[in-house]
Structure 1
Amino acid sequence: MQPPDSPPENLGVARFSEFVATLGRGPGRSRALTREEAREAFGLVLDELAEPVQVGAFLMLLRYRGEDSDEIAGLVEAARQRLPTPTQGAVDLDWPSYGAGKTRDVPWFLLAALALARAGIRVAMHGSNRFSSGPTVADALRVLDRDAASDFADAQAQIARTGFAYLPIERLSPKLDELLELRRKLGLRSPVNTVARLLDPFDAAASVDGVFHPPYIDVHLGVAQRLGRKRLLVVKGAGGEAERAPTKPVAAGLFVAGTRSDESFAALLTRDEASPGTLDDLAATWRGDSEHPRGRAVVIGTIGLALRALGRADDPNAADRDAERLWAARQG
């Protein structure tokens, strides 16, 4: 019997324990959460109504069982419900950047996004590169004399003014950033990484997304279908970024208005003789002072991915041709 002077049981903790039990019961008894259950459970996490030990168990059970499109869709819905409301029609392309490669190059994909913005395509990039060993997007912005957005409203203002903004996840959703940071304590990435990639916080007309492993492509496209997304292109990219490797064909999954297709982008270089780039190389390539051969190919190839995601090219070959022209015109 509960002592009369003890506090009442936290209802959030009690309810959340049911979700942990559903995921963690033994073989033949556990199951994935429904979309509605996942939405409720993650809402309790984001509203800090679950205990830290419960949150850790929940995230690792989701990971151990394997990412499920219904579950992830529910988690994304819970996260989006707690974000500011964006201005409708203000963004053309959503660009998540949550790479965590151990040997990645500089973020050449940033130049692809900036070139698209110069061409009149409004790009909203959000993310965290905290677990990447290479230079971050924020590092690259600084050498280009640009600043990351300070908050959601500032990001919208930058997009309206310049066509581009980068909003770090800690400024978009401090709680999601805190959950991503649990990787240091748990030793493994959790499904929150997938949730962050699929947030589309500005309700863009299209998204271009990168994953670490090819099986995640199916999960991302499945979530897009469940959430009624308009257009999404997903590619296995370096460090999990939406970035094209130039020396080999790249497979991509494309989701358009309820229909999925598989596409292949050709290699752009026969071999790669260039050393990894530096931030100085990135800045010089953007200004046109000089061009890093591999970096240039990565940028043009990544622009091609974005054009195909946007539906502004009919196929990968056309996307690459248009990307070359768009890159050349950036200084016009």
Structure 2
Amino acid sequence: MTLATHVRTLGRGPGRSRSLTREEAAEAMALMLTGEAAPEAVGALLMLLRMKGETAEEIAGLAEAAQAAMPAAPRADLDWPSYAAGRTRGLPWFLLSARLVSMAGHSVLLHGWNGSDGAVRAGLAAAGIPVLGGAETLPPGAIGYLPLEQAHPALFSLLNLRGVLGLRSCVNTVCRMLNPGRAPASVQGVFHPSYRLLQADAAALLGWRSLSVIKGGGGEVERHPGKDVEWFGLRDGQPGQGVYPAHAQLQHRLSELPGAVGLAEVWSGEATDPLAEAIVIATAAVALDTLGHAHPEALSRALWATRRTQLAA
């Protein structure tokens, strides 16, 4: 079967076209990842899915095929994708949140690609997060970042078609659902609220155990501490949703916060930025809640207060 078969299924027109089944979506992704499918067919399929709107079954099939084609990656307790691109959101304070979660004894695997926005990659060193080069073991309390272009070149090529097509595609969502470390818990950020439930439903189909999807700063897993933030996802494999209540007086958009103070300075305590600290603590609490901690807000604050005694060498 060629990719054209699946393009035909999606593009026959009103009354004749239909969504792909999970199995068909998996086969379509497998064909695209080989690099042997006609580029015209790849572009047509991705744009037809975008115009129609992806279903949870399609995302689940695409994601499981992408994961199956990926080389071994470090196992982790928490999966943390970072794929927002094209929207300036200010400094990536969520990197400090991920580091805070690792202090609670959880291994954290970040992975991603952010297009022309180099803020995340530039912030890794400042946040004390090493870039991983392969399937290194992540012991309890360890943290690392896996670049998509190194970890899954074929999927990266599909993601990079955004520059050719001029639009994002379902590959962005697939990357968020990749979970390369097969972690039992995952936190995900989206820019468009409708994707929260889509990704939660796809995760349920894939048999995931714990997931929180929020509308985060610039599409990243970054919680606004001055707003009530709704989450969709899974707890113990069952669908769930709730609200993380505001806990700070902060009316600005995250992208409007002053960026004069850097990640390293705030982490080390050389500089004080109450707004940045509120973002870090609030975002870490989302991850700690997803990991099953009973009092995530209190634990996040306690970890932040003791971080200076646990700085990496």
Normalised to the residue count of structure 2, the TM-score between the two structures is: 0.92
Is 1:233 the counterpart of 2:175 in the alignment? no
Is 1:287 the counterpart of 2:268 in the alignment? yes
1:93 match = 78
Structure 1: 5+ residue stretches without partners: 1-11
Is 1:29 the counterpart of 2:16 in the alignment? yes
Is 1:44 the counterpart of 2:44 in the alignment? no
Q: Any idea what SS the aligned residue of 1:320 has? A: helix
Which of 296, 305, 309 is the equivalent residue of 1:328?
Answer: 305
1:280 Cα offset (Å):
4.8
Structure 2: 5+ residue stretches without partners: none
1:147 Cα offset (Å):
3.8
2:111 match = 126
1:257 Cα offset (Å):
3.1
Q: Summarize the alignment of residues 202-241 of structure 1 with structure 2, pairs less than 5 Å apart.
A: 202-241=181-220
Q: In the aligned structure 2, how far is the partner of 1:268 from the partner of 1:238?
A: 16
Q: Any idea what SS the aligned residue of 1:59 has? A: helix
Give the counterpart letter for 1:74 in structure 2: G
1:232 Cα offset (Å):
0.6
Q: Any idea what SS the aligned residue of 1:222 has? A: helix
Is 1:168 the counterpart of 2:168 in the alignment? no
CA gap of 1:167–1:277, structure 2 versus 1, over 3 A, is farther
CA gap of 1:303–1:175, structure 2 versus 1, over 3 A, is same
Q: Deviations over 1:31-67 (max 9, x none)?
A: 0000011111110000112111110011000111101
Q: In the aligned structure 1, how far is the partner of 2:87 from the partner of 2:192?
A: 15
Percentage of identical aligned residues: 44
Given that residues 56 and 199 in structure 2 are in contact (C-alpha distance below 8 angstroms), is that contact kept between their aligned partners in structure 1? yes
Q: Deviations over 1:210-239 (max 9, x none)?
A: 111111111111111110001111111011
Q: How many residues align?
A: 307
Q: In the aligned structure 1, how far is the partner of 2:220 from the partner of 2:156?
A: 18
Given that residues 176 and 188 in structure 2 are in contact (C-alpha distance below 8 angstroms), is that contact kept between their aligned partners in structure 1? yes
CA gap of 1:243–1:302, structure 2 versus 1, over 3 A, is same
Over the residues paired in the alignment, what is the CA RMSD in angstroms? 1.9
1:181 Cα offset (Å):
1.1
Q: Any idea what SS the aligned residue of 1:28 has? A: coil
Given that residues 99 and 131 in structure 1 are in contact (C-alpha distance below 8 angstroms), is that contact kept between their aligned partners in structure 2? no
Which of 136, 140, 151 is the equivalent residue of 2:119?
Answer: 136
CA gap of 1:162–1:277, structure 2 versus 1, over 3 A, is farther
Normalised to the residue count of structure 1, the TM-score between the two structures is: 0.87
1:319 match = 296
CA gap of 1:162–1:121, structure 2 versus 1, over 3 A, is closer
1:96 Cα offset (Å):
0.3
Q: Any idea what SS the aligned residue of 1:160 has? A: coil
